[in-house]
Structure 1
């Protein structure tokens, strides 16, 4: 796996059980170890996000006292938010899961409406952890924080 700045990074809510489950799903179904991961609550995530979208947008998306509300895929200098970030992540999965990218054909406002509804209810439906999950020693190098 490449460790340079061009490697894609998935930023996720480290206290959200749905988000942690999604990261585990990605690890179990990815084509290869291309993605790296960082919880949005970490300094590393805020630094990477600041490089991609600037200081003001970083404060809006990843303020320590604010619900992150979105997984964010950092890929080739771009930050992909909400449904676009989640669906672009499917490109790194094995078939049949990678075909989830076909959902990008659905208009973004409709996709994001569904994404925001799930994000708004994720703690109620799936619960919340008090801390970020600790990866196994084999996976630790893939997690940036």
Structure 2
């Protein structure tokens, strides 16, 4: 996959890359769709051509998905930093969860790594990428 074309994105876009076969990740994406009423975030499956191009652009593996990514203003946040940035942009009461930033990064990322490593075993996985929920297709990066 050396011929990946980077999708046209506005630097102001907040793009969340997630693993579309992971049930936990799919529930997370549905949470974003439900509570991000201002539509601040766009979602993108890491398995999609757009997701693969973004992974390659930011030097992430194309076949191993062990972190959620948030791309905004040309930077890429990972792990607990991505979660905190996402929650900070969500409406109240969800924005309160951004207070996790005051926990030591090692502790935050340790918890993140535990869940990421065990997410398929704990929450399950789909046999194929789940489709966007009806009516939300425009919220996904094309």
2:48 alignment partner in structure 1: 42
2:1 matched to 1:8?
Answer: no
Contact 1:31–1:92, Cα closer than 8 Å, also in 2: no
2:38 alignment partner in structure 1: 32
Contact 2:46–2:55, Cα closer than 8 Å, also in 1: no
1:80 alignment partner in structure 2: 77
State the shift of 1:119 in Å: 0.8
Which has the larger displacement, 120-129 or 3-12? 3-12
Number of equivalenced pairs? 134
RMSD: 1.6
Which blocks of at least 5 consecutive residues in structure 2 are unaligned?
A: 1-8
State the shift of 1:50 in Å: 3.6
Higher-helix-fraction structure: 1
What is the aligned counterpart of 1:134 among 127, 131, 138? 131
State the shift of 1:137 in Å: 4.2
Query: Cα 1:27–1:102, aligned 2, differ >3 Å: closer, same or farther?
Result: same
Q: Secondary structure at the match of 2:44?
A: strand
The CA distance in 2 between the partners of 1:109 and 1:82, in whole Å, is 11
Q: Secondary structure at the match of 1:58?
A: coil
The CA distance in 1 between the partners of 2:105 and 2:126, in whole Å, is 30
